[in-house]
Amino acid sequence: MDPPNPMAESGETLRKRSLTDEVYDHLYRKIIAGKYSPGDWLRQEDISTQLGVSQTPVREALDRLVASGLAERVPFRGVRVPALESNEIVDAFTMRLVLESLAARLAAIVISPEEVQSLSMIIEKTASLVSLEDMSTLRQLNKEFHTSMVESARNPLLTKLYEMATNSFPDWMLYEYMFRHPELMQSSLRREYLEHQSIVDALACNDPEEAAARVIQHISNLGAELESYLNISHETIEEVMSRITPVISSQQN
């Protein structure tokens, strides 16, 4: 008789794909959803036991997480979810401004009605998610929205670069702060919903300049949250904006 599969018992049975792909997707979702916190170790043996798979696909999945920037390998200790330093967060913020605004411009030219509808559906899923219990789902939907928008630009290299940048941008930390300060939640989530909708509206109108401008405004507001929620200095954010604005502006000329 085969041994029981822990994932099957918990309702998390792996689908029949590459086990490495499945383990990677499983860990990816848990990190994005905040089930693992910054600094948590991803122990290969423990994960193997929990999922009922051998250590080989777990090791390969961890390698992929490290390559994507969503985990880091510490020599002689193992793999963990990064506890990001302020300079790393600011670097990722800079890259998101550049890459995501470029993606919006490209996407506005080639996006299909079906892709616009898909983005709208993601947004609508978030409309009623306003409680502390919804934070995990919101994190995942936010990630899905931005990644799908970038993918609609039809540039695989841009998508790969964006994934690396966004994996180092602490969206999950911002949601974690809201979780600890629920008085901020409704206004922050309402603003996020409206800004996402404005991005989709510009894409639906096939307006590259407006789509880029809406994305820049949205990411810039996330910069303000970095300052307010994560204690990134105002001077640092201002310096980044002064350096990056000419680059962003040149995209729109």
Alpha-carbon Rg for the chain in angstroms:
19
Helix (H, G, I), strand (E, B) or coil at 13: coil
Please name the CATH architecture into which domain 14-80 falls.
Orthogonal Bundle (1.10)
Q: What pLDDT does residue 14 have?
A: 46
Q: What is the DSSP letter of 206?
A: T
Per-residue pLDDT tens for 71-99?
899 999 999 998 778 888 888 888 999 99
Domain residues of the chain, as ranges? 14-80, 86-251
* Amino acid, single-letter form, for residue 135: M
> Residues with Cβ < 8 Å from 84, sequence gap 6 or more?
38, 92, 168, 170, 173
Pair of tokens at residue 237: 């954010």
**Cβ of 246: how many Cβ atoms within 10 Å?**
8
Question: Rounded to 5, what percent of the chain is helix, strand, coil?
Answer: 75, 5, 25
What digits encode the pLDDT tens for the residues 155-175? Answer: 999 999 998 888 777 676 676
Q: Does the pLDDT at position 119 exceed 80?
A: yes
- Pick the closest to residue 91 from 215, 244, 234 (CA basis): 244
Contact 97, 219 (CB under 8 A): yes
In whole angstroms, what is the distance from residue 161 CA to residue 141 CA? 20
CATH code of the domain occupying 86-251: 1.20.120.530
- Region 103-108: what's the mean pLDDT? 97
Query: Which residue, chain included where needed, has tokens 């990001």?
Result: 84
* 233 band by pLDDT with thresholds 50, 70 and 90: confident
The structure's pTM equals 0.71
Least confident span in 9-13, 107-111, 137-141, 151-155: 9-13
> Is the per-residue pLDDT at 15 higher than 80?
no
pLDDT at 237 over 90: no
